[in-house]
Amino acid sequence: MTVSNPPIFLQSELHPAEDVRRWISSSVGGVPGVDAQESLRVTPNGTPNMTVVVAAGGAYVQGSENLYQGMYFTDNRGAASVTIQVADGSNDRIDFVVIHIKDSEYSGSENEVVIEAITGTPAPIPVAPALPENSLLLARVAVNAGATSITSSMLTDERTFIEVASKGYVDALLPVGMMVDFGGPIAPTNWLMCDGTVYDRSQHPGLFGVIGTAYNTGGETGVQFRVPDYRNAVAIGPGDYALGAAGGSKDAVLPAHEHSVLSHSHGVNDHAHTMPSHKHTMGTHAHSSASHSHVMNHGHTADDSHEGAHVHDSLVRRDYSASGSTGRPGITNSSGVDLWYSQVRSDIMAAAGSHNHDVTVNNFTGSTNSTKPGNTGATDPGDTSNTDPGDTHSKTGLTTKGSGDSVTQSAGGNAAGLNYPPFMTANKIIKAV
């Protein structure tokens, strides 16, 4: 039978201490730590001084020498001074300050609790010492080479705080290795900042058991591991990248690339274009025309004596061609045409006397191959009278449609720019216990 007997707490029975310790362990969720925020805090003892002060307070210390050893409870009822060994002259060193339970039931001959410093080994890259069995880590001390005093900058608080028993149950529900956003500047008890810090595996064996060396970046020793570094970074799920992989950049450069656009159409609603008042100016130019005729239809009438205002009924017709043939006897070139026309005009004007003519000149059309002498072009001063207020007519049913696939080439630039979306910063923390 494997059930532990007698159960605690039978009135008339003697109970082994192990049963009580296991009950303590279950009552705080199996989480070792101190019982209040200031319990067993480690601070410098002043300068020049190679000692530290450990404040009063209670602690839950997990037995580690036997599977059913359970958790011890002990308290320090006054400030305790702990001496740190003299610094090495050449190399740095890492020491631990711990509270240590000694139980002869499992090893040794002593039955006591001590608060002590565990001294590490000086080295160019120092490694923290191993924790003794049945101990609770209170602080890490970075002992610089040649140091003669312990200062605040050398101390790292490593305590785990158990506020109430129920907190242990809550912590137990949150798995080790869980990462969440956190609004404060310092990680809460049982959590670590995701800032890429290197820790000894013996400090946080549970966390190392979960994440291993996935977030190592180089420079770690064989007994160290690194927590994730989420400074200036966001998380994405593994897929194309392995767990713990880092990439991307806050500076974006767009490489040369192409966009293919399929055949498509754009519908344009009824709309109007308004054209402001403007003018068109026409510079010096020439009109050339082919063989053509001018016809002037007009009439002259007058009394028999040709006196006073009167009108002549007459028809004057001028025909000519580029070859010089005009259809008039004796006229063989364009110069003759001009002489004939001038004579006819003079005869008419001499016979008419002082009078007025209303003349209608029909529209004239022609091609561009005329060789009429004297046609050398006109100098137009420009249209300066256009006061058109604009085109106010609506255009309807306009549609623009692509005729097929097309490609737009876009070249990337060399200039880098920040590639941040809108953001707000918060610390990322990871559950360590």
- In the prediction, which pLDDT does 345 show? 56
SS3 18: helix
- In the prediction, which pLDDT does 5 show? 73
CA distance linking residue 344 with residue 340, whole number of Å:
6
The two three-digit tokens of residue 227, written as one number = 């927590």
Reported as half-sphere exposure (CB side, CA atoms, 13 A), residue 146 has a value of 1
- In the prediction, which pLDDT does 356 show? 59
- Its pTM stands at 0.42
Answer yes or no: are the C-beta atoms of 243 and 214 closer than 8 Å: yes
- In the prediction, which pLDDT does 271 show? 78
Cis ω before 185 (30° cut-off from 0): no
Chain centroid to Cα 415, Å, comes to 15
Gyration radius of the chain's alpha carbons: 54
The two three-digit tokens of residue 266, written as one number = 């754009």
- In the prediction, which pLDDT does 268 show? 79
CA distance linking residue 290 with residue 323, whole number of Å:
11
Answer yes or no: are the C-beta atoms of 162 and 60 closer than 8 Å: yes
Query: For the residues of 131-168, what is the DSSP string, one character each?
Result: PPTTEEEEEEEEE-TT--S--GGGEEE---B--SHHHH
Which CB contacts under 8 angstroms, 24+ apart, belong to 401-405? 401/263, 401/264, 401/265, 401/266, 402/261, 402/262, 402/263, 402/264, 402/265, 403/263, 404/263, 405/260, 405/261, 405/262, 405/263
- In the prediction, which pLDDT does 47 show? 76
Answer yes or no: are the C-beta atoms of 397 and 147 closer than 8 Å: no
- In the prediction, which pLDDT does 338 show? 53
CA distance linking residue 154 with residue 25, whole number of Å:
32
pLDDT in tens, the chain (433 residues): 577 777 777 777 788 888 889 888 888 778 899 988 889 999 999 878 899 999 999 999 999 999 989 999 999 999 999 999 999 999 999 999 999 999 999 999 999 999 999 999 999 999 999 999 999 999 999 999 999 999 999 999 999 887 554 555 565 678 899 999 999 999 998 899 999 999 999 889 899 999 999 999 999 999 999 999 999 888 888 888 888 888 887 776 777 778 788 887 878 788 787 878 777 777 776 655 555 454 444 444 444 444 455 555 444 444 444 444 444 555 455 555 555 555 555 555 554 555 555 555 454 444 444 444 444 444 444 444 444 454 444 444 444 444 454 445 555 555 556 667 788 889 999 999 8
For the chain, domain boundaries: 1-173
- CATH architecture classification, 1-173: Trefoil (2.80)
- In the prediction, which pLDDT does 327 show? 47
